[in-house]
């Protein structure tokens, strides 16, 4: 038994892409538990799609974040291509509802995250084979846009102190220092004003709800002053230590 034509058509409408070769989509939606032979399942497409997804995300981050260091890019990319993120995208496209699995396997909203993520990777592989790299790139960036936005803006994935330290050591031969200039508020809700300095050079101060947060914002201010970052780059209210 395979994925029926009605399900394939509905899937193509949801994902916003119509296959020249619908057999590729059918293969992408066929789990090994329901395939006559394992090579007829979506496992090979999953292998290919995983590589295409990684390349597209890496290329996008490289272009979008010219100021980000390798470590930060790696963390963001890992978040976007993670099983959790891929499963969320798969759910948004309703892939679990059309993934053909063998008897006894959960489908729909109760499907294990790993199966949902694999379905997305398989679909990416199928789109790549059917339409080429540029079509696959547009497909990924469209449907993973929210995952990219959250990962780039996440407090866990953009460390301005790390960037300033690497820049200062590379370009100025010394390590940044952070000085607490002021603090306000009661003990349970203090705010801190911190400024960064590199050698004899001092940079604009910044306020934060913790010393670590204020240090990150002060590092961002220093990077802007040094011309490493644009002052149009958003900084979240909470950033990493």
Cα Rg of the chain (Å, integer):
23
Is the CB of residue 29 less than 8 Å from the CB of residue 15? no
Choose, from 50, 72, 193, 213, the residue flagged as catalytic. 50
Q: Where are the beta strands (DSSP E) in the chain?
A: 177-184, 191-198, 201-208
Is the CB of residue 198 less than 8 Å from the CB of residue 176? yes
Which residue blocks in 16-159 are alpha helix, DSSP H? 22-28, 43-64, 70-80, 83-92, 113-131, 133-143, 145-153
Q: Is 50 a known active-site residue? A: yes
Choose, from 121, 130, 147, 213, the residue flagged as catalytic. 121
Residue with tokens 């004003």: 193
Catalytic positions, written as ranges: 50, 121
């Amino acid at each position: 038994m395979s994925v029926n034509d009605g399900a394939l058509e509905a899937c193509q409408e949801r994902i916003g892409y119509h296959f020249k070769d619908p057999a590729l989509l059918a293969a992408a939606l066929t789990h090994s538990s329901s395939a006559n032979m394992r090579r007829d399942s979506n496992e090979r497409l999953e292998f290919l799609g995983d590589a295409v997804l990684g390349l597209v995300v890496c290329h996008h981050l490289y272009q979008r974040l010219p100021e980000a260091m390798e470590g930060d890019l790696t963390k963001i990319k890992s978040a976007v291509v993670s099983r959790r993120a891929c499963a969320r995208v798969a759910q948004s496209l309703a892939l679990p509802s059309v993934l053909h699995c063998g008897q006894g396997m959960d489908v729909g909203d109760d499907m294990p995250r790993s199966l949902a993520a694999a379905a997305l990777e398989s679909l990416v592989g199928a789109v790549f084979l059917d339409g080429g790299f540029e079509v696959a790139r547009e497909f990924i960036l469209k449907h993973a846009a929210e995952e990219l936005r959250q990962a780039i803006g996440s407090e866990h994935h953009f460390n301005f102190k790390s960037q300033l330290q690497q820049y200062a050591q590379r370009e100025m031969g010394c390590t940044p220092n952070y000085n607490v200039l002021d603090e306000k508020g009661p003990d349970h809700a203090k705010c801190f004003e911190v400024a960064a300095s590199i050698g004899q050079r001092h940079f604009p101060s910044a306020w934060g709800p913790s010393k670590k947060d204020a240090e990150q914002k002060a590092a961002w201010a220093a990077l802007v002053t040094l011309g490493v970052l644009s002052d149009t780059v958003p900084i979240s209210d909470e950033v990493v230590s």
